[in-house]
Structure 1
Amino acid sequence: MGALPILDLRRLEAGEAERNAFLAELRAAAREVGFFSLVGHGIPEARIAAVQALARRFFALPAEAKQAVAMVHSPHFRGYTAAGAEITRGKADWREQFDIGAERAALSRAPGAPAWTRLQGPNLWPPALPALRPELLAWQAAVTAVGIRLLEAFALALGQAADAFAPIYAGGPNPHIKIIRYPGREATGDDQGVGAHKDSGFLTLLAQDGEGGLEVADGAGGWIAATPVPGAFVVNVGELLELASNGYLRATIHRVVTPAAGRDRLSVAFFLGARPDATVPLLDLPAPLAAQARGPASDPDNPLFREVGRNYLKGRLRSHPDVAAAHHADLLDTEARAA
């Protein structure tokens, strides 16, 4: 396969026949590739360009302004990460990024509280770029709405009620944004922008610029280039959908290759997750789909847990060892080792 499928979300509201055809194509794209480009989502291309321009303004700030909101200052894993400081599969990723989540008050560390409760808390915001807070929070709300609409379509495509996943996200979905810049290859010894991995949530919606680099495993040892489509989101299935569908849907391995020397790549990634206190259900799939469900993938180095918060905490501790050591050293011999 030479390119990702392109799906138009407007077909969901274009009459029964078109809707059913869209759901069949959605199910096939998610099962066979795990990735697709989504158009017709309702967010204007100009707004996507504006949030990308704002991200570039952030990355153009002086190093000291970015380091003032470094993630190591946040026990909730929010803020700026310099290139080389995040780890995937034991190797450094060559990208700088800024992470935010839901803007919520921190939970008290009550005795006996689940370890994942430490992840909830406020974001860090750079005083040098005050526009970042309102714009990224507005973006978070807009893309959350698209993500939930798409998640409802996935439920229908799996033979469920549209609100099948609502019990584990309603009232407090777990949205996560990364604005990301991949510097050119002159500054790194290899081409790992971000190493091969799966995403842990329901869905990822990625707005990328015109610079390629995202690649999707094709299941046969090769890679499919996620060629940028103007105005589209690249969407991929996360591990929560893999668990809920008993492996009928698979979270697909993907990576980003560092741009050539003298170039860079910018993307805005949105991850839609369930409430951290939720447990992923096992859907009762229609018999034809259930017969094709292979069970969730088993990886001894990255086990999947149905407890959403535990899964998310596992990933954060592994990806950001400096934050883990600074704020959660007491967990490193329990949660990280158990994972």
Structure 2
Amino acid sequence: MAHSPLPIIDLAALEGAPDTRRQMLAQLGRAAREIGFFYLTGHGLSEAQQTETLALAARFFALPEPEKRAVQMVLSPHFRGYNQVGAELTRQRPDRREQFDIMNEASALDADHIHSPWQRLIGPNQWPAALPEMKTQLLAWQERLSDITLTLLAAFAEVLEQPQGVFEGSIHGAPYQHMKLIHYPGQEAGGSSQGVGAHKDPGYLTLVMQDHHSGLEVETATGWIPVPPLPGALVVNIGELLELASNGYLKATLHRVVSPPPGVSRLSCAFFMAARLDATVPLLTLSPELAAQAQGPESDPANPLFYQVGENVLKGRLRSHPDVAARHYMTAAASANQQPASGQTTNSERRQPQPA
């Protein structure tokens, strides 16, 4: 199988000898700045463990529809649970995938303690009664993926020539975790090929585990390129929060998934890590050399960016899941769909924090 021109970063080398570490940090910086995507090896997750997680996903998606619908996301104000094919939207078009979402396992806040809509993201996951092992296995897997992203985030602090722990204030205690098990059914004759429409991710970093079928694509200056599975490797991409923190030095890149051909099913697992929901993304003070290459975060009136993490995460959830928004977030959904008027600044420009 031909492979994408994406670079390959060895996480183990980032913890190796000083010379090897410096070389890998330089490669990491180029990958994050020039493309915003890379393969990650040396992460400590065996192929067998990855296969086991995807097998669990296959068992869930094979459950009878009534059992999956018993935990459908529309029942959860916290955006947890099952979505059937077409339930999630990207750029107002339905995605051809079914999925199961979990996040940090927590108790919902009492109404008296909720002062902003994003606080309703905090709460428990839904779990299918037919697969009691799912809770323990997926929460443990989510923690392992979270540990990898925290190691990468520390490496990015070095890439950006920042003090050790510069992101600690925004992640200490409970960084926002969000994981999806995803099933992409094969295309239907004359149907849409949009497995997932073109989008960027709202957090710090995303890790994607693919089965042996291709479908993920990344936009580059020369057009869309495929990101076929590389055995044992994870695919990593930069999220909007790292683009914001670095004032655009690091790049959050548009990506999409094309549905597999007829008769083929594709499975994947995506993990999104953001700062704590109650945190504000630090605007880092870059060296003159790096600052000269930072052009500011990309301005897109259709996708205003927020330095307040909960607002930025909720923005994406409301637009992707209009059924959940309509049932649980009517006022917040209306606000999220308001676009800046011509000539006005975007939300990210209005809400910039002080440099760290």
TM superposition score normalised by structure 2: 0.92
Q: Do residues 119 (structure 1) and 121 (structure 2) align?
A: yes
- 2:305 is matched with 304
Q: Is the 8 A contact 1:94 1:188 kept in 2?
A: no
Is the 8 Å Cα contact of residues 201 and 271 (structure 1) preserved in structure 2?
A: yes
1-structure distance, mates of 2:334, 2:284: 34
How many Å separate the matches in 1 of 2:4 and 2:15?
Answer: 29
Contact 1:3 1:227 in 2 (8 A): no
| Partner secondary structure for residue 180 of structure 1 | strand
Question: 1:59 and 2:54 equivalent?
Answer: no
Is contact 1:4–1:224 with CA below 8 Å preserved after alignment?
A: no
Report the Cα distance in structure 1 between the residues aligned to 2:263 and 2:230, rounded to whole angstroms. Answer: 23
Counterpart residue number, 2:227? 226
What corresponds to 1:32 in structure 2? 34
Aligned length: 338
Shift >6 Å, 4+ stretches: none
- Any gaps of 5 or more consecutive residues in structure 1? none
The aligned counterpart of 1:6 is 8
- Per the alignment, residue 332 of structure 1 pairs with 333
Residues 266-313 of structure 1: CA deviation (Å, up to 9, x unaligned): 000000111011111111112211110000000001011101111111
> The residue matched to 2:142 in structure 1 has which SS?
helix
Corresponding residue for residue 281 of structure 1: 282
Partner amino acid for 1:200?
Answer: P
Given candidates 30, 39, 51, the residue that maps to 1:49 is 51
For the 8 Å contact 2:78–2:122, the answer to whether it is kept is yes
The aligned counterpart of 2:176 is: 174
Residues in 1 aligned to 2:324 and 2:190: alpha-carbon distance in whole angstroms: 23
Contact 1:109 1:118 in 2 (8 A): no
The correspondence of residues 1-339 of structure 1 with structure 2, limited to 5 A, is 2-110=4-112, 113-186=115-188, 189-220=191-222, 222-337=223-338
**Matched residues in 2 for 1:281 and 1:26: separation?**
21
- Note the C-alpha offset of 1:237: 0.2
- Structure 2, unmatched stretches of 5+, are 341-356
Structure-2 separation of matches of 1:276 and 1:95? 27
**How many angstroms apart in 2 are the aligned matches of 1:200 and 1:36?**
18
Preserved CA contact (<8 Å) 2:105 2:125 = yes
The SS at the match of 1:127 is coil
SS in 2 for 1:246: coil
* Residue 46 (structure 1) shift: 1.0
Counterpart residue identity of residue 10, structure 2? D
* Letter matched to residue 145 of structure 1: D
User: Which residue identity lines up with residue 322 of structure 1 in the other structure?
Assistant: D
Preserved CA contact (<8 Å) 1:246 1:293: yes
Asked whether the equivalents of residues 301 and 339 of structure 2 are also in contact (C-alpha less than 8 Å), the reply is no
- Residue type of the partner of 1:260? P
C-alpha separation between the residues in 1 aligned to 2:15 and 2:333?
48
Flag the 1:189–1:279 CA change in 2: closer, same or farther, 3 A.
same
Rounded to whole Å, the distance in 1 between the matches of 2:327 and 2:214 is 35
Deviation string 1:42-64 (CA, Å, 9 cap, x unpaired) is 11111111101101100010111
Is the contact between residue 302 and residue 339 of structure 2 (CA under 8 Å) also seen in structure 1? no
SS at match of 1:185: coil
Q: Note the C-alpha offset of 1:111.
A: 7.3
Tell me the CA shift for residue 176 of structure 1: 0.4
Equivalent AA in structure 2 for residue 78 of structure 1: R
Tell me how far 1:189 sits from its aligned partner.
Answer: 1.2
CA contact (8 A) 1:174 1:272 kept: yes
What CA distance in whole angstroms lies between the structure 1 residues aligned with 2:5 and 2:148?
23
Cα-Cα RMSD = 1.4
Equivalent-residue separation in structure 1 for 2:190 and 2:202 (angstroms): 27
TM-score (norm 1): 0.97
Q: What SS does structure 1 have at the residue aligned with 2:334? A: coil
